[in-house]
Structure 1
Amino acid sequence: MTPEILSTYGLPPTQQGDAWRALFSSVFELEEPAQASQGFLAESRYWALDGFGIGEVSAPALRATRTKELVRRNSVDHWCLTLGQRETKILTPKDTLVVPAQTPFLVSLGVDIASERASDKRLHLYLPRDGFADMASQLDAARGIILDTGLGRLLGHFVRNLALSLPGLTPYDVPNLTAAVRTMIGACVVPSPDRLELAAAQIDEARLQKLTQIVRRNIESPALGAGMLCGALGVSRTRLYRLLQHEGGVERYIRKIRLEVSHARLSDVSNTSTIGEIAARLGFTDASQFSRTFRREFGASPSEIRLAAMDGGAAEPASQVILDRQPLNRLLAAL
């Protein structure tokens, strides 16, 4: 899938701010800081898909206003689900909301609204009313709501992985992708027992992807275990163990990731730590047991993997988890 790219890169600095404003003038009035006259490097990538669109925007600080006049002139009334890396301030005629970083929020382009934010890279999911007519009243009721809930944060994770996967998509993937987006929006923004049941497989896949990232980020932490993971995911121990039942349970799953990380570090010729030091940092205090467990997992000893790396022949471990590389393939497989 090839995006449409809008960019101010390559323009003279004094023209960049005006050019960026012109690109969006039919939908928003954009106001940049005073120093924008010195340059306003910004880029937008937009994918028009079947029944929805997704945009990825990287731009300096600005204020975007959807005025009453623009709403009258431009009849676009899509909902927009936004996920930013920085805090956002949303201003409506009745209220001002402060949205934390990495937290999704929903607005409607059919009403006047303004947003202020610092320099940021943001994702926008555009949901047309025709494509989401069956949940229109609930989405309207949810506009202006900060999705700072377990399901909301999971939806943010889903949107991030969706954006990462777009360059590798083909037109044949789009129908399933559209169904996946509709299902996740319904379950996470306007949840009901039926919608949650319909999205159960996708929600579990998204949780498993997020779980893997949490484990990898905390791989050297002595506190890494069921308690930490329950808190980070916002799930009960029962739900966590059910999520990992096909992986052999929590401890086995963590051990598997630790072994994969140890394999990667042993395969890295720039890593000068000893095998014992690598094992100890990853929680393997018994060197002999680490060596036996490593061989069972990869069919070679730690020292053999290190020697192969030095000889330029290190191979990818056959059992390596690849959740971080192909999130969409697994998501679609769960449909």
Structure 2
Amino acid sequence: MEASTFSTRPFPVRDQARVWAEWFQPTFDMHPETEEQEGFAAEYSVWNVGDIFMTLATGPATRAIRTPAHVRRSPIDHWVLSYCRQCPMTISTNGKDVSADAGVPFLWSLGYALDGRSISAPRLQVYMPRDSFKDVTTILDMAVASTLDTQRGQLLADYLMLLKRSLPHLSSEDAARLPAAIQAMLGVCLAPTPDAMAAASRQIQLTFMERVRQVVRRNLRSPSLGPDRLCREAGMSRSQLYRVLEQAGGVANYIKRCRLAESFVLLSDVSNSQAIQEIAEILCFSDASTFSRVFRREFGVSPGDVRSAAHFGIAVAPAPASKLLPKGLSFSNFLGG
């Protein structure tokens, strides 16, 4: 799925801030907080996913104002879920002043006047029309102008980042299921009843799996990588960790296969001059012999075969068994049904 993107970069520097402001009329008055002569290089990408819109804004610091007159002229009342991983954001709306720290999502509504500020960092937002979220109308209205600074809010933030990375690969069939998936995650975040947890169980498992993947990826070369470290860094209990990786053959097997996948990349890189024994050592295999044996079992070829083929410009495809995710665990399967 491709995004529709608006950019100020093709315009003359002196006109960029004004063009950015015009783009948001009549929904907002935008006031770039830079001098005109400095320019305002910014982009706004929009993914139309089912009945919702996901947007990514990148650009300099900006102040956004939506007055009662804007609300009358542009009478849309979508809820908006905002998230900035790197920087804080502030907003005044519905009689409240809200300050969200970096990495904390917050909820607001276009049905109210607002005055908000964001600084220079990518900002992800999900625009949710009321007609598509009827089952959670009450809890969303109660949560307007609030930050989601809880463990469940962080789970929602991680899910949003996973959505952002997955959007380019999203099929039309998956897109149609996305509103229900987001609604399920919002239910868990805002009203975590047993029914809500059950409805979002697949999305939660996928998000936990993504957390595990990232922790493992960061620590592939660390001998201390194991269940304790994974639980600590991924914010999971041991039972959750074992449940997530059960179909992957368990924690140790998943870590081993990720290390093997990394070794395949290193051996296929002709610019990498490390010896096979050294690659085995930095990826925490006990010795080169053990590494070679499990490598051949995983990929159907030896480490030396992969390195030789790379030097001759021959691409060696890993065997089909080298998939790292448990069977049935994919973004498509966890969108909501």
Return the TM-score normalized by structure 1: 0.91
Tell me what 1:328 maps to: 331
SS at match of 2:107: strand
Tell me what 2:89 maps to: 89
User: 1:203: Cα distance to partner?
Assistant: 1.2
d(CA) in 1 for partners of 2:240, 2:252: 15
Gaps of 5+ in 1: none
Gaps of 5+ in 2: none
Equivalenced residues, count: 332
User: 1:81: Cα distance to partner?
Assistant: 0.8
d(CA) in 2 for partners of 1:270, 1:189: 50
Q: Is the 8 A contact 2:263 2:279 kept in 1?
A: yes
User: 1:21: Cα distance to partner?
Assistant: 0.5
d(CA) in 2 for partners of 1:63, 1:322: 44
SS at match of 2:253: helix
Cα gap change, 1:115 to 1:44, in 2 (>3 Å): same
Worse-matched range after superposition: 161-170 or 284-293: 161-170
Output the amino acid matched with 1:328: F
User: 1:2: Cα distance to partner?
Assistant: 4.1
Tell me what 1:4 maps to: 4
d(CA) in 2 for partners of 1:90, 1:165: 28
d(CA) in 1 for partners of 2:102, 2:259: 29
Q: CA RMSD for the aligned pairs?
A: 2.2
Output the amino acid matched with 1:295: R
Output the amino acid matched with 2:322: Q
Output the amino acid matched with 1:60: P
User: 1:285: Cα distance to partner?
Assistant: 3.0
- Show CA shifts across 1:162-202 (max 9, x none): 22333333433332233322222222343321111011122
Aligned pairs for 1:37-48 within 5 A: 37-48=37-48
Aligned pairs for 1:1-335 within 5 A: 1-92=1-92, 95-318=96-319, 319-321=321-323, 328-332=331-335, 335=337
d(CA) in 2 for partners of 1:242, 1:194: 19
Q: Is the 8 A contact 1:84 1:101 kept in 2?
A: yes
SS at match of 2:126: strand
Q: Is the 8 A contact 2:82 2:107 kept in 1?
A: yes
Cα gap change, 1:62 to 1:36, in 2 (>3 Å): farther
d(CA) in 1 for partners of 2:222, 2:254: 15
User: 1:330: Cα distance to partner?
Assistant: 4.4
d(CA) in 2 for partners of 1:169, 1:13: 35
Q: Is the 8 A contact 1:31 1:62 kept in 2?
A: yes
Output the amino acid matched with 2:247: H
